[in-house]
Structure 1
């Protein structure tokens, strides 16, 4: 699935801004990198896999940020090349836990999901916050999930718990550093049809002997439905991120924005 940049973006909006987007080679992360580069930012990204052909961030660091060593590798590379950051998008996340509910998850799986979905962001924030505080400006954006409010127990309970912790941590961090010039925000995506999600739809359709539309509708129903009738697209998430980290959103701080097509009902 390819991403597109909206025609109305300002190609100079982020000129002079040094950005790190974690997990930026696929899905939402790749769309966020593309959008910020299109807006003039100098963007670094990181992933466990190699950089896909055609992607051209200013800096790529191959590392597993679910580990302390991986985080340290990214921090050293960004400091050496950029000198610091103006915007940090903690996007990396996910779960590889098996199905079967809570008793199928052992300590190693819990530790992995907490390391990837919570502690990677905490460690990177700690590394780059001193520079942001010294310059009295910066934006940190955490990518959480609607599973923090709508956990799915079958396979992703540890992931959901880690994302809930990430959202709570974001709020506390915002209270501490907001008065010192650093904005902290989070977003909670719902079902976003990345290439990986589309592959899942194709697999479910093949297994059930049906078409993609039927498989996709079944997946949406399992999440409680999506009132707009479709999953979100990575570029829609990227556009939300671009707005929130920009000067246009200068008074938006300490909050979480849900982008889920209405899956989570809000009174």
Structure 2
């Protein structure tokens, strides 16, 4: 069993879905955990700061909170991201939509890393986990073209970052989930169902079929991702860095 006693962790997008599952699991295993989201529910059981990670001001607010609350962190999970792009393929993706997707899915992580990495480097240890998506390899062009491109950029950036900071004792890894049944996934399923006048079950199956199926026969859960995240954050993975881990039930069928 992993032990995170004495470790300080910060999770972006930590009040819902995969972010919440990761934050709660780290806390269960002894870490002191804080999160950020646009809104922190009044009954949320962990510390948190309300901020929009996709905006420069939001990243600054988060940085100030982390430095005030923790001084520095041992584990940083950049989980915040997602897509609410309109259906319609490339023609529906305006400049503003492309910019919004990159701000949310790439630049937010870049800014927070840049702000918090120096203190990790001074300590000579730390773990950064970036939550990406299998769409970085297999985009759904009909509605998430810009999102998929931003996640592909996140993967590339993560690899380069791992090479730069490894000599300082820091590890950087990527988790690329497949079809995980989160709240945002539910919203996407509902959007497809409404746009195509079909049931949510049919919309869910359309997504599964479009991405090439799920050999293990089920969609993933946030808890599946959380278990991988705590492994990568733990000393059990102390010689693992610069790696992308796909967790998709076998959807991506290439090496």
Say yes or no: TM over 0.5: yes
Scaled to the shorter chain, the TM-score interval is over 0.9
Deviations 1:87-136 (A, max 9, x none): 10000001121111112111111111101100000000001110010000
Could you tell me whether the CA contact under 8 Å between 1:191 and 1:231 is conserved in 2?
yes
Choose from 244, 247, 250 the match for 1:259: 247
CA distance in 1, matches of 2:178, 2:141: 16
Q: Which runs of 5+ in 1 are unaligned?
A: 1-8
Aligned length, in residue pairs? 254
RMSD: 1.7
Choose from 154, 176, 180 the match for 2:142: 154
CA distance in 2, matches of 1:39, 1:165: 32
Choose from 167, 171, 178 the match for 1:190: 178
Measured after TM superposition, the shift of residue 197 of structure 1 is 2.4
CA distance in 2, matches of 1:250, 1:236: 21
Could you tell me whether the CA contact under 8 Å between 1:51 and 1:60 is conserved in 2?
no
Measured after TM superposition, the shift of residue 242 of structure 1 is 0.4
Could you tell me whether the CA contact under 8 Å between 1:21 and 1:44 is conserved in 2?
yes
Q: List aligned pairs for 1:55-66, cutoff 5 A.
A: 55-57=44-46, 59-66=47-54
| Mapped pair 1:128 → 2:151 | no
Q: Which residue of 2 aligns with 1:6?
A: none
Deviations 1:36-75 (A, max 9, x none): 010111111011123263x211x21101010000000011
CA distance in 2, matches of 1:248, 1:143: 19
Q: Which residue of 1 aligns with 2:6?
A: 16
Measured after TM superposition, the shift of residue 194 of structure 1 is 1.4
Could you tell me whether the CA contact under 8 Å between 2:88 and 2:142 is conserved in 1?
yes
Alignment CA distance shift 1:88-1:215 (3 Å): same
Could you tell me whether the CA contact under 8 Å between 1:20 and 1:88 is conserved in 2?
yes
Q: Which runs of 5+ in 2 are unaligned?
A: none
TM-score w.r.t. the length of structure 1 is 0.90
Measured after TM superposition, the shift of residue 210 of structure 1 is 4.9
Q: Which residue of 2 aligns with 1:173?
A: 161
Q: Which residue of 1 aligns with 2:33?
A: 43
Measured after TM superposition, the shift of residue 203 of structure 1 is 6.8
CA distance in 2, matches of 1:211, 1:169: 36
TM-score w.r.t. the length of structure 2 is 0.94
